[in-house]
Amino acid sequence: MVKVGIIGATGYAGAEIVRLLMGHKDAEIVWYGSRSFIDQKYSDIYGNMFKLVDAKCMDDNMDELAKAVDVIFTATPQGLCASLVNDDILSKVKIIDLSADFRLKDVKIYEQWYKLEHKSPQYIEEAVYGLCEINRGKIKNARILANPGCYTTTSILTAYPLVKEGLIDPNTLIVDALSGVSGAGRGAKIANLYCEVNESAKPYGVANHRHTPEIEEQLGYAAGKEIRINFTPHLAPMNRGILATEYATLVKKDGKLPTYEEVRAAYEKYYANEKFIRLLDKDVYPETRWVETSNFVDIGFKIDERTGRIIMMGALDNLVKGAAGQAVQNMNIMFGLPEDEGLMFAPCFP
């Protein structure tokens, strides 16, 4: 039985980790960490856990937590995990960090985009980027795991096979993505109030969203070179979900565009055996409602022969595959457990 501690257990992503691990036969939560709700019953904060979780919330003392558990999930704002982790902790426990503290390999880029001084840059190089379908081999032996976020997971997985196989010019990639409001976290913000969000949709972080360099870095590894993309996120009036629509110029071979079958073969090459990636049939496109509350990613595409471009589309649940589900999937890989343990359930609809 893997003993689990969660720092940030009362945020949306932390609460989703709790929900998922309730159905995990090989994991036990022993520490519900929450600086804001110390000594309060967890079920008083989340009523859905009434008579399911009797524990009280504890603090975020990572040194003490490392003595009690095998793995720590940090579902916290940027900067906290980096300020807490040290050599002694990493000698005792594995860390799965849901923030961006260890996702980017260049500390200067992190500090530029997140406007924070990195408190433990010495661990950046060893941290493994936890995109399970791409980095599974590295994840197995990781001590510190940088769990990708929702926008990046969708954007990268949707384009990765075509970048890797050289079927698109990655420097022409444009990503437009919609997110549910839960992606902004549980903190009270005027921009996320019901009347501000309902019956409206808006772009934000235009040309400067902090997930841009993360998408560029990971797809750059696939391309074998540095790339530059346009990424524009949008807030949509829904609780959950990410829908990314991506556009890129196809690379011609002998003067001809790749066919549907060739593009499909590229996706099949990388994802045919991936349990949590569902490649949709021809002319069927992803919808957030068909992945809600699940760990699945739905991917579809359409070749536009008139423009020589391809439209790639991906959808996932931002709190599951985009956060907590991917974190649990990473934990399973790190501890040699079945990768789908605690995660194999159908999406919820309606």
Structure tokens at 244: 């990314």
CB 241 within 8 A of CB 154: no
Q: How far does CA 244 lie from the centroid of its chain?
A: 13
Q: State the greatest distance between any 2 C-alpha atoms of the chain, in Å, as a whole number.
A: 68
Classify residue 324 by its DSSP letter.
Answer: I
Beta bridge partners of 304: 309
Catalytic-residue membership of 132 = no
Tell which phi-psi region holds residue 71, choosing left (phi > 0), alpha (psi between -120 and 50) or beta: beta
- The secondary structure of 228-242 as a DSSP string is --EEEEEE-SSSS-E
In this structure, what is the dihedral angle of CA atoms 61, 66, 68, 71, given to the nearest 10 degrees?
110
Query: 71 CB contacts (<8 Å, ≥6 apart)?
Result: 2, 3, 4, 5, 93, 94, 95, 96, 331, 334, 335
Task: Name the active-site residue from 57, 150, 195, 348.
Answer: 150
User: Which residues participate in catalysis according to the annotation?
Assistant: 150
